[in-house]
Amino acid sequence: MRHRGPDDAGQLIDGNVGLGHRRLSIIDLSAAGQQPLANEDESLFLIFNGELYNYVELRADLRRAGHHFTSQTDCEVVLHAVEEWGIEASLVRFVGMFAFALYDRDARQLLLARDALGIKPLYYQTGEEVLFASELRAILRAGGDATPSRTAIYDFLSLERFDHNETTFFAGIQQLQPGHFIRMDVDEPKSIVQIPYWNPTPEGARATFDYARPVETFKDLFDDSVRLQLRSDVPLGIFLSGGLDSSAIVESATRQSTQTLQSFSVNFDDDGFDETAFASQIAETYGTHHHRLTPDATVLRDQLGDFVAAQETPTNGPGPFSEWCVAQLAATHVKVALSGQGPDEMLGGYHLYFLPYLHTRMRQLDEQGQRVGWRRLLGEARRIGSLTGRHWGIYLAAAIGAQGDGWRRRLKQRQAQSLMQDELLSEVTAVAPVQQDWPGDTALDKALSEALLGWGLRRLLHYTDRSTMAVSLEARVPFLDHRLVEFCIGLPYHTKIRDDRSKWILREAMKDRLPSSIVERRDKKGFPTPVGRWLRESEEFVRDHLAPATIARRGLLRESTVTRLQAEHFDGSTDHGWALWRLLNLELWYQTFVDKAAGSTKAA
């Protein structure tokens, strides 16, 4: 995993326990930060991936309690915090993104922990030995089980989801869930139980934060998150799309930083996908040193294999490839980049959330404490339909009875099942829901909690971590400070979406900070990629990878359906860009991980 940490390496072998670490030096670049880190009496050893943003404040508390530090790193704070407060009490104090392993030599225990939102990954495999790592490839190289999970493949094809529970695309490898930790006996690791330490609820949030002035509280929490995440001993930049979320980070960061920040964006020679004008406006307004990249179909053909290998999973859509490209651009200039992920899931940024919003609107009091009448509801449905391009009757139906976008999910699932062979369908007869009782007071709140805590956001965080760490770049996500997330979970529904304005509270918070052209943008893009055109320009590449013989050998998909999708796409009658993207990703994943593992076994 040298790409994740090219600056330093260290290891500890203690009996049947081995800890290995690659370091990406961000805080305290000296040799004092080499890991594994030990406490004063060398009874505790730590390997840590990520950042503890509030380490300065916690270190001051620990010094007052009598602890001594040998470095200025954030990681050393973790050691002393667990020593002073214990693992659970420490985890709830940490503001950061992390996955770490802490070995207690005296107690013969190993602790594995992951941050509240799952920004940083942690995988493990049990058996005769316990293997754990930040990437699946490390476990596979150490002898892990490379058997593909047919259930994961079904989930991916039918519901476009992964990372929604402990499972991975490999049958024998699991992942530690966000907001959980593991405590194991290193001499007898017979059973491993994931223990939750973070369980946000609206009630808990309302007992903690000030909701009397919600916009001001939102601003304070957001600015404090940006302030903490600007802590770095290396150059820092920002992924800037020109949308509301990344622009808000640029404004807050440039106001609070003493250095001239750099910003990075991808552009396309296609009016339906290009956001150059918006990104340029923000960069000029706030004085960032802006860099642009314009990838094309050639870049896709040349790098898609490397992209899939770095992701370690197939990806649902082409957006992550644009992020992959901008990460490579940023890595040539900085070592840390802030990213704008989070508000869409926290505050209803996607158009699909208008459906549970109107369902909620009909049943809940509005922002003035009034019932929403039929005339007003109809007006909102018409305005939302005009914005999204869908018939207003769909939204009115959602208000009357539908509780979300479930019918679209079922339709997509049926379409995907028509693509799969009967053998695969018979193996996986049903896909269990991730969780039924998501926190929230309304249909909208629950739908957002599902995306935020269940699967939607986890996919995006997976993409970001792999694309950035592949080029030794650390990505930070200020909107996903767990304090800000908790606050948003406790917000009334109408501060998230109001009428046809998504992310209402964020727009209100930024209306005096950002240009109105950015605050009132309604076209949702988010690393848009012209995949349909790119694949048409790469017809030979697509046909080679999705050839009938290849499809038959895998035994997953119907050859006739895959052939039809390609024919319709390349003759221009139907754009199947996203569907072909998923199939290409799945095939390249098989080539990279399954075929190579089988070849290695035969060679051995």
In a domain, 218, yes or no: no
Asked if 515 contacts 285 with a C-beta cutoff of 8 angstroms, the reply is yes
In a domain, 284, yes or no: no
| Predicted local distance difference test score (pLDDT) of residue 414 | 73
The CATH number covering residue 100 comes to 3.60.20.10
Number of domains in the chain: 3
The residue type found at 132 is F
Cis peptide before 36 (omega within 30 of 0): yes
Q: Based on the domain organization, do 423 and 536 belong to the same domain?
A: no
CA distance 287 to 308: 35
Q: Which domain-ending residue is among 404, 430, 456? A: 430
Q: Based on the domain organization, do 537 and 421 belong to the same domain?
A: no
pLDDT band at 600 (very low <50, low <70, confident <90, very high): low
CA distance 355 to 446: 12
Asked if 337 contacts 486 with a C-beta cutoff of 8 angstroms, the reply is no
Q: Based on the domain organization, do 190 and 47 belong to the same domain?
A: yes
In a domain, 78, yes or no: yes
pLDDT digits (tens, 9 = 90+) for 53-94: 999 999 999 999 999 999 999 999 999 999 999 999 999 999
Inform me whether the pLDDT recorded for 603 exceeds 50.
Answer: no
| Predicted local distance difference test score (pLDDT) of residue 128 | 85
In a domain, 563, yes or no: yes
In a domain, 494, yes or no: no
CA distance 461 to 361: 31
pLDDT digits (tens, 9 = 90+) for 384-431: 999 999 999 989 888 887 554 555 666 667 777 788 888 887 777 555
Inform me whether the pLDDT recorded for 306 exceeds 50.
Answer: yes
Higher pLDDT, 189 or 194: 194
| Predicted local distance difference test score (pLDDT) of residue 428 | 72
CA distance 62 to 38: 16
CA distance 107 to 585: 45
Inform me whether the pLDDT recorded for 107 exceeds 70.
Answer: yes
Q: Based on the domain organization, do 415 and 552 belong to the same domain?
A: no
The residue type found at 494 is H
Q: DSSP letter string over 332-368?
A: TT-SEEE---SHHHHHT-SGGGHHHHHHHHHHS--TT
In a domain, 213, yes or no: no
Tell me the whole-structure pTM to 2 decimals: 0.94
Q: Which domain-ending residue is among 165, 196, 227? A: 196
Higher pLDDT, 488 or 267: 488
Mean predicted confidence (pLDDT) in 283-309: 96
CA distance 75 to 95: 12
Of 115-129, 277-291, 468-482, 584-598, minimum mean pLDDT range: 584-598
In a domain, 479, yes or no: no
| Predicted local distance difference test score (pLDDT) of residue 604 | 45
Inform me whether the pLDDT recorded for 536 exceeds 80.
Answer: yes
DSSP classification of residue 494: G
pLDDT band at 524 (very low <50, low <70, confident <90, very high): low
| Predicted local distance difference test score (pLDDT) of residue 587 | 97
The full 3-state SS of 396-422, as one line of letters, equals HHHHHCCCCCHHHHHHHHHHHHCCECH
Inform me whether the pLDDT recorded for 109 exceeds 50.
Answer: yes
Q: In Å, what is the CA distance from 88 to each residue of 93, 113, 115, 181, 217?
A: 9, 10, 12, 9, 27
Give me the half-sphere count of Cα atoms (radius 13 Å) on the Cβ side of residue 493: 27
Q: Which domain-ending residue is among 396, 430, 464? A: 430
Q: Which residue, 536, 596, 522, 600, is CA-closest to 572? A: 536
Q: Based on the domain organization, do 426 and 536 belong to the same domain?
A: no
pLDDT band at 132 (very low <50, low <70, confident <90, very high): very high
Cα 31 to its chain centre, rounded Å, is 31
Percentage of the chain beyond pLDDT 90 is: 82
Mean predicted confidence (pLDDT) in 437-460: 92
Widest pairwise Cα distance in the chain: 73
Mean predicted confidence (pLDDT) in 506-532: 86
The phi and psi torsions of 126 (rounded to 5 degrees) equal -110, 165
Inform me whether the pLDDT recorded for 523 exceeds 80.
Answer: no
| Predicted local distance difference test score (pLDDT) of residue 435 | 56
Task: Show the domain range for 376.
Answer: 354-430
In a domain, 478, yes or no: no
Q: What is the mean pLDDT of the chain?
A: 92
Pairing of β 262-266 and β 289-293: parallel
Which of helix, strand or coil describes residue 571? coil
Q: Based on the domain organization, do 53 and 188 belong to the same domain?
A: yes
Inform me whether the pLDDT recorded for 436 exceeds 70.
Answer: no
Q: Based on the domain organization, do 408 and 549 belong to the same domain?
A: no
